[in-house]
Structures are given as C-alpha cells and as structure tokens.
Structure 1
Amino acid sequence: MREREQERERGVQRAVLPFGVAEVGGLSMVPTLLHRDQVLVHWGAEVRVGDVAVLRHPLQQDLLVVKRIVERREGGWWVLGDNRDEEMSDSRTFGAVPPALVLGRVRARYRPILAGRQRSVGAVASWLLSAVRPVLADRSASRRLRAR
C-alpha cells in the first residue's frame, strides 16, 4: 500500500486493465502506422529492440509518442520513427529515453473507415482485409541504423 501512495505522489498511475487504445497523430511511423490509426497498447509490457512502443516524450512528459525501440544505450532506449524523412521528434533530438518513460508495447493497429470515402463493395472489402493487423517487431532495426 505504501508503494502505491509513493507512486501516486510521483504522478505515476498504473493502468487498471493491461490493454488500452491510443490514437496515432502524425506521420513519423509511416508506413507501419498512419495518422489517425488506433493502436492496441499492452500497458506495462516488457519491450525489446524492434518493438513499437508508447512512451512519454522526455522533454514534454504530458505528451505520449509512438516510436520503434532501436537499441539499448546508456541512459535508456534509443527510439526512432519508421519514417526517417519526417520531423526528428525521436532520440535524434532528445537522446535516450529512460525506461521509466516507456509505458507499453503496441500489439495491433486498427484503421478506422474514414467518413466521406467511397463505400463500394470493393473499397469496403479492401478496408476489411487491412483494417486490423498486428504491429510486428522489426528485429533488424538496429542493424539498419548501424549500416547508415
């Protein structure tokens, strides 16, 4: 009980359920995740190199971001977006992310059908085939980073 009180004082809240949904904003994770995708997050799950994770932005901790775990460094995890041409709101800007700021692992993504889009049988069938998909770890991410 004392431990929970200390966590509350530090502003740390544990999720009641181990899974939750978050919405992706921006293009930093394209092509893995698109703007407005919904992701299923396994809160508190252990992350490994190659996983996509939800974390608190180290410089603006009220902001949650979704990034790929690239490697373990002194001071924490090195994280990058999959779209390297997009803004550099990742470890290239803020450095290694302390493990305490990594909140969970992304397990799946769901692409909502957008209002105003054509609803032909072919379009709906295409959406159904791609709407829900697991977000897989890219275990070769750190090798690609070193090769650049």
Structure 2
Amino acid sequence: MPEGGRWQQDETDAQRVTEHGAEPGRSALPFGIAEVVGPSMAPALLPGDRLVVQYGTSPRPGDVVVLRHPMQQDLLIVKRAVERREGGWWVLGDNRFVENDSREFGVVPDGFVLARAWLRLRPPQAPGDRRPAALLTWALSAVRPVPSFSPRSLLRRRRAR
C-alpha cells in the first residue's frame, strides 16, 4: 500500500476502496484517488482500478460514488447511486451476484456519500513490461470516464432476478 493511503478492512465481500491523497474536509483540493478492491462493481470497475473522485459534489442517478458503509462507517465502499429516496440514496453494485448494497443495508444517508467518481484509471496488465507498444496500448485504454447507466435499466435488471 502506498504511503499516505488508508486501508479499510471488511469481513464481507464488499467493494472496498483504498483512498490515496486528501480526505474530505482535510484539504483545499476537492479531488482524490480511490483504489477499487473487490468485485461488486464488475464489469464496469475491476479490482486494482483507480478512480479520480471529486469530494463535495451531489451525485445524480447513475453516478458511481464513494461512500461510508452504513453499518461500518470506517469502511469506504464504491457503489452506483440509483435513485433518491426518503432519507438518502438507494445504491447498488453493478455485479448482481454481490449483494452488499442497499438491498442489504437500505437507504444510505446523504452525509455518507463522500465523493463522485469522474475517471477510471486501469493499472498496467504487466507492470514490468516497458516495451513501447505495451505502454501505448495501456495508455490508450487506461484512462476512461466512469461508465454511467440509466437508473431505470438498473432497477429493471434488479427486479428481473
């Protein structure tokens, strides 16, 4: 783990993140980096992906957000904000086989949603491979916007199970 990062441990199969850089409220910079650890957002986000996140923004339905787990506030998780409900946000993981989301813990209060993800940075497949062709291939695919989905399509997919 890089220096300055913070690791949250969880005994479940939650989508965990390692947060690098400034924490919300502790720096003048509104941006940070979060590393994805876990399968709940696959295939859109994979373990090892890094997210460029912006603190203090209000999510919109379909956005990927970093939030505090409602039952373990020291645990940061990555989920998709699906819709506003009374009391906060209904959040779901993209991987329908991992149920550590609002289906398990209910609505997440607004104050628990810390950041909105803007970009996904994929790590190199072979970190030691420094060939120009391999670096170029990685560079062309590494930085992508975080995929967003229609909340209706997410809810429809969840109901079809």
Q: TM range, normalised to the smaller chain?
A: 0.7 to 0.9
Preserved contact between residue 24 and residue 114 of structure 2 (Cα < 8 Å): no
Which structure is richer in relative contact order (CA contacts within 8 A, separation 6 or more)?
Answer: 1
1:113 correspondence with 2:124: yes
Task: Give the Å deviation of 1:73.
Answer: 1.7
Unaligned runs of 5+ in 1: 1-11
Task: Give the Å deviation of 1:115.
Answer: 4.9
The residue aligned with 2:111 is: 100
Q: Which has the higher helix share?
A: 1
Out of 32, 38, 58, which is 2:44 matched to? Answer: 32
The residue aligned with 1:70 is: 82
Preserved contact between residue 19 and residue 40 of structure 1 (Cα < 8 Å): yes
* Structure 2 Cα separation of the partners of residues 117 and 45 of structure 1: 37
The residue aligned with 1:5 is: none
SS in 2 for 1:33: coil
Preserved contact between residue 69 and residue 76 of structure 2 (Cα < 8 Å): yes
Task: Give the Å deviation of 1:26.
Answer: 0.3
Q: Which amino acid aligns with 1:37?
A: D
Q: Deviations over 1:94-136 (max 9, x none)?
A: 1110011001110001012255565555543332221111113
State the 4+ residue runs in structure 1 displaced beyond 6 angstroms.
none
Preserved contact between residue 49 and residue 142 of structure 1 (Cα < 8 Å): no
TM-score with structure 1 length normalisation?
A: 0.81
1:79 correspondence with 2:123: no
SS in 1 for 2:123: coil
TM-score with structure 2 length normalisation?
A: 0.75
Preserved contact between residue 24 and residue 30 of structure 2 (Cα < 8 Å): no
Preserved contact between residue 82 and residue 154 of structure 2 (Cα < 8 Å): yes
Unaligned runs of 5+ in 2: 1-22
> Which of these two proteins has the greater Rg computed from alpha carbons?
1
The residue aligned with 1:42 is: 54
Task: Give the Å deviation of 1:141.
Answer: 2.6
